[in-house]
């Protein structure tokens, strides 16, 4: 099948390489050194799903009409990337693999003739060197569209992916998006401290802050009428308990997340962006919680402060020591 992959970072690069290994005719988009390296020697995948070098066509935009498209850019780059490729992909089934809550609706508005499907990547992958992607922990891709049962386009896209990697068509995709937002709560602290996700979750002071941020985000979700979907061991019942439990009990949830990450240090996607000199998508992660709280007339001070800290690191290019983070967060209600 002719497949286009727009954006070949950690997630897009993994998907492109695995779809190529499964025998599909894959074309990708990339920029800068990533584009140059892919053109010169291909896209190299390593890690828990094996090793493969995908010798794929690569340009800044797609050059031919695909039969299926995956949009795998950072959330803040999605609209521009879709618009740049719309002449070839409007009318083609599109899978939006993205963090945050807005990607699927945004793609549907920009591509009125396409069947757009949302997707959540739960595997962990690292992209720090051009042309090199390493999958550090396995995980599923969850596909869906709304609160109901999987549609025909969802099932079609899932079948294509299943031949290459673990993929699940899910009902209540909106709830799954919110649960992935809770999983992504672990992304801010590595970006603030420069430590791996496992190190931040293993630090008692930082783990307490992460627990408070997840609990705050969960409460905003429930206040919005969300029924959380089951993603990576988290589900509605466990998150309901977390939203009500004291912090010392709630820390069992981030400890569970740490165990599922495995032993290979996971920098998280937000820290990876910083290390590549790029802006992060923190406004679509913790920032999405803050935005939803404002809509409800509520507040999310812990998530708001984490957003501010990540933006400070973006601006100053200096990480905070764990003690400094704990001091900064101590006064946040």
- pLDDT (tens digit per residue) in 109-138: 999 999 999 999 999 999 989 999 999 999
| Number of domains within the chain | 2
Does residue 120 share a domain with residue 28? yes
Tell me the per-residue pLDDT of 172-216, one tens digit each, with 9 for 90 and over: 999 999 999 999 999 999 999 999 999 999 999 999 999 999 999
Q: Are residues 25 and 97 in the same domain?
A: yes
The model's pTM is 0.92
Tens of pLDDT along the chain (333 residues) come to: 999 999 999 999 999 999 999 999 999 999 999 999 999 999 999 999 999 999 999 999 999 999 999 999 999 999 999 999 999 999 999 999 999 999 999 999 999 999 999 999 999 999 989 999 999 999 999 999 988 889 999 999 999 999 999 999 999 999 999 999 999 999 999 999 999 999 999 999 999 999 999 999 999 999 999 999 999 888 999 899 888 888 878 888 888 788 877 778 888 889 999 998 889 999 999 999 999 999 999 999 999 999 999 999 999 999 999 999 999 999 886
Residue with tokens 């699940």: 168
CB contact at 8 A, 117 and 140:
no
Q: Quickly list H helices, the chain.
A: 10-21, 32-41, 78-89, 103-110, 152-162, 173-183, 188-193, 197-202, 204-223, 236-244, 247-250, 252-261, 268-275, 286-296, 301-316, 322-330
57 and 133 together in one domain? yes
Of 48, 40, 42, the residue nearest 134 (C-alpha) = 48
Distance between CA atoms of residues 71 and 73, nearest Å: 6
Q: Which residue has the tokens 């704990």?
A: 326
**Residue finishing a domain among 122, 153, 171:** 171
Query: Residue 295 sits in which domain range?
Result: 177-330
What lies within 8 Å, CB to CB, of 109 at 6+ separation is none
312 and 232 share a domain?
A: yes
The residues pairing with 234 across neighbouring beta strands, listed in sequence order, are 231
């Amino acid at each position: 099948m002719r497949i286009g992959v727009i954006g070949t970072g950690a997630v897009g690069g993994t998907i492109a390489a695995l779809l190529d290994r499964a025998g599909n005719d894959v074309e990708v988009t990339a920029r800068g050194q990533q584009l140059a390296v892919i053109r010169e020697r291909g896209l190299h995948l390593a890690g828990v799903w094996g090793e493969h070098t995908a010798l794929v066509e690569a340009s800044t935009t797609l050059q031919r009409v695909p039969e299926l498209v995956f949009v795998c850019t950072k959330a803040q780059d999605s609209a521009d990337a879709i618009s740049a490729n719309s002449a070839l992909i409007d009318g083609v089934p599109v899978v939006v693999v993205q963090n945050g809550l807005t990607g699927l609706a945004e793609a549907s508005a920009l591509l009125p003739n396409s069947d757009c499907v949302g997707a959540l990547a739960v595997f962990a992958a690292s992209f720090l060197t051009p042309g090199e992607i390493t999958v550090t922990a396995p995980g599923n891709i969850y596909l869906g569209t709304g609160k109901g049962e999987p549609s025909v386009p969802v099932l079609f896209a899932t079948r294509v992916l299943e031949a290459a990697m673990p993929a699940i068509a899910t009902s209540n995709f909106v709830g799954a998006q919110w649960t992935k937002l809770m999983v992504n709560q672990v992304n801010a602290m590595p970006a603030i401290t420069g430590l791996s996700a496992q190190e931040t979750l293993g630090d008692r002071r930082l783990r307490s802050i992460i627990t408070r941020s997840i609990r705050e985000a969960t409460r905003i979700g429930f206040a919005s009428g969300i029924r959380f979907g089951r993603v990576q061991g988290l589900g509605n019942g466990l998150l309901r308990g977390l939203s009500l439990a004291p912090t010392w009990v709630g820390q069992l949830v981030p400890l569970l997340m740490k165990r599922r990450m495995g032993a290979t240090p996971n920098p998280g996607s937000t820290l990876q962006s910083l290390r590549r000199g790029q802006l992060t998508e923190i406004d679509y992660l913790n920032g999405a919680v803050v935005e939803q709280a404002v809509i409800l007339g509520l507040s999310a001070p812990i998530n708001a402060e984490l957003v501010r800290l990540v933006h400070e690191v973006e601006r100053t290019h200096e990480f905070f020591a764990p003690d400094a983070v704990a001091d900064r967060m101590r006064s946040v209600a």
